[in-house]
Amino acid sequence: MILLLLVLVAVVTAVLLGRGTGTYPRARTAPEALVPAPRKPGAPFRVVAGAAGWAAALLYLWGLVCVGFAAMEAEDGGTDSSPLRPCRTGVPPELSGRVIDYSVSYLPLRFSCETADGEAYDSADVPGYVNPGVAVLALTAVASAVSAGYATERRARAAARDGDR
């Protein structure tokens, strides 16, 4: 399982590095060195949007891994499988002793333990920072992408207005 996680990290890192290498300025010859390269409007916003989007996706993937491991552990039968192992952490033994089933939610990421009296509580297997972190990063990515579009549109309108004179 560790090998699978290492392969996943290696692939994501290779994609990120491969994607970012084309954005660095290339060495110029002497006459070109005096002319500054034109700057794209909204470029900083695009970088922030891309980084926040990747970070949100990776954090959500981490949460999916946590939920998946909790579900695999809950489905593992045999000795020491009652009460469910993911439902034991951070709760009193009398509460975990009443667990009869579990449910999994993917949005927001959650592993819930259901008791015999119809109540449910969330397992501690999914870290508490995952759902708020994904939400903040996704909103940052969307806001940055909208800001990049606004900056590009604003510059295009200014160029069109200057061209009409």
In order, the DSSP letters of 65-122 are HHHHHHHHHHH--STT-SS-GGGSTTS-HHHHTTEEEEEEEETTEEEEEEETTS-EEE
Band of the pLDDT at 63, cuts 50, 70, 90?
very high
The pTM of this model reads: 0.70
Mean pLDDT of the chain: 78
Q: Model confidence over 14-23: pLDDT tens digits?
A: 555 555 445 5
What is the pLDDT, as a whole number, of residue 7?
A: 57
The amino acid occupying position 96 is S
What is the pLDDT, as a whole number, of residue 161?
A: 84
What is the pLDDT, as a whole number, of residue 21?
A: 46
Residues of the chain above pLDDT 90, percent: 22
What is the arithmetic mean of pLDDT over 74-102? 76
Parse the chain into domains and list their residue ranges. Answer: 42-163
More confident residue, 24 or 50: 50
